[in-house]
Amino acid sequence: MKKALLILVVLAAAVYVVSWFWAGDDVAAAAEQPWPDGLGTLAAVSDRYPQQQENEAARNLTKLADGFPESEAIAAYVRQEIARGDLTIGEPPAIADLTAIRDLLLREPIVWKRDISIQHGGLLLKVKMYQSLTHALLASALGRARRQEPAAWDDLHAVWNLSKSLDGQPPRIPRLVAMSMTRAINAVAWKMPLPAPAWFHEVQDHDFVRPLFETLQYEMWYAQRNEMFPLKPLAQTIDRERILTSKIARLTECEFHLVSEAPNPELLDLDITWQRAFRYRAEREATANALRARAGQPIEEGSHCSDGTWSFDGKTLRFAKPIALPERRDTSMPLTLHVRE
């Protein structure tokens, strides 16, 4: 009798706890709220990213990249050159033959399978390939620029086309990889032979703040879709991320200040991601102005960043204030560049 009574008490407590946290209506209401920047409700996510199949070019790239040597020496060389604030370019280490890979990337668009119901979009295993090819192509571009070969831009173009293959993949990892690649292209482009080709305007016009909004919204869509029981914490998280997006969308500075109040590693990583996205706006301007100065053209002193302007004294290009480096895993270009001796 006592055992049965205990079971009843436990069941009653469980029902009470579940009823307290159960929030089907709250989750549905949170999901139906429109997100800023024209993103619509969570239901819009699946329409924005319909399924697609991998194309032949993607399969050929995988075959060509299979076994491509990953070199820490090349990665270190690229990081060193990105961080260098003058036109000097060091001698790159030995690089494996990139001809077939470069030609493929310049000739055909790469399309991966897209199924946003799969964690990380199913692209997690591609990350190392992207990193090794990016480092090798950037090192090749720098080596060619060192010899004043206009074909250096072809290497950067190949990296850009590889980066664009991730544009339609909203999970966080592909977004971070694409942002790292684009920032690296921009960070070395100011050292390339003049003039810059027309396609480079795509890099200069690209912005990662809006794509990161899409990623946050996608993550909430994914969480709602995979939540077995609609509980209050999920409704609160959806509302919190939507409100955070609204606040970030109003920011006009290029220095992003941390929003995390607690030492949560995931939130701190997200803060660093926002720092990189906002700093890239100033980095784009640095490269554009450096290319202008090298070509003997006047720089644009104004900035899209409300927290600074640009100056050039005939030798050195400077942003009006330092913007803290957000790096833990990669390297940012400096915002003071010595463009002439």
DSSP assignment letter at 338: E
Length of the chain: 341
Burial class (CB in 10 A: 0-12, 13-18, 19+), 194: exposed
pLDDT score, position 9: 42
pLDDT score, position 11: 47
Cα(134)–Cα(188) distance, rounded to whole angstroms? 12
> What are the backbone angles phi and psi of residue 73, rounded to the nearest 5°?
-65, -40
**Given a cut of 90, is residue 72 above it in pLDDT?**
yes
Q: State mean pLDDT over 49-68.
A: 95
At 205, list the tokens.
Answer: 């016009």
Q: State mean pLDDT over 59-85.
A: 94
Average pLDDT for the chain = 89
Calculate ∠ Cα 148-154-155, nearest 5°: 90
Cβ 147 vs Cβ 85: under 8 Å = no
DSSP state string for 106-141: HHS-----B-TTSGGGG-GGGHHHHHHHHHHHHHHH
**pLDDT, greater one: 5 or 113:** 113
**pLDDT, greater one: 327 or 1:** 327
Cβ 139 vs Cβ 78: under 8 Å = yes
205-223 pLDDT, tens digit per residue, is 999 999 999 999 999 999 9
Q: How far apart are the first and last CA of the chain?
A: 92
At 296, list the tokens.
Answer: 């003997």
Cβ 37 vs Cβ 249: under 8 Å = yes
Share of the chain above pLDDT 70, in %: 87
The single-letter code of the amino acid at 173 is I
At 163, list the tokens.
Answer: 């980066």
pLDDT score, position 204: 96
Cα(96)–Cα(71) distance, rounded to whole angstroms? 10
Q: Is the dihedral of CA 47, 209, 140, 67 positive or negative?
A: negative
**Segments making up each domain of the chain, as ranges:** 47-214
237-276 pLDDT, tens digit per residue, is 999 999 999 999 999 999 998 665 444 444 445 678 899 9
Cβ 234 vs Cβ 27: under 8 Å = yes
Q: State mean pLDDT over 48-67.
A: 95
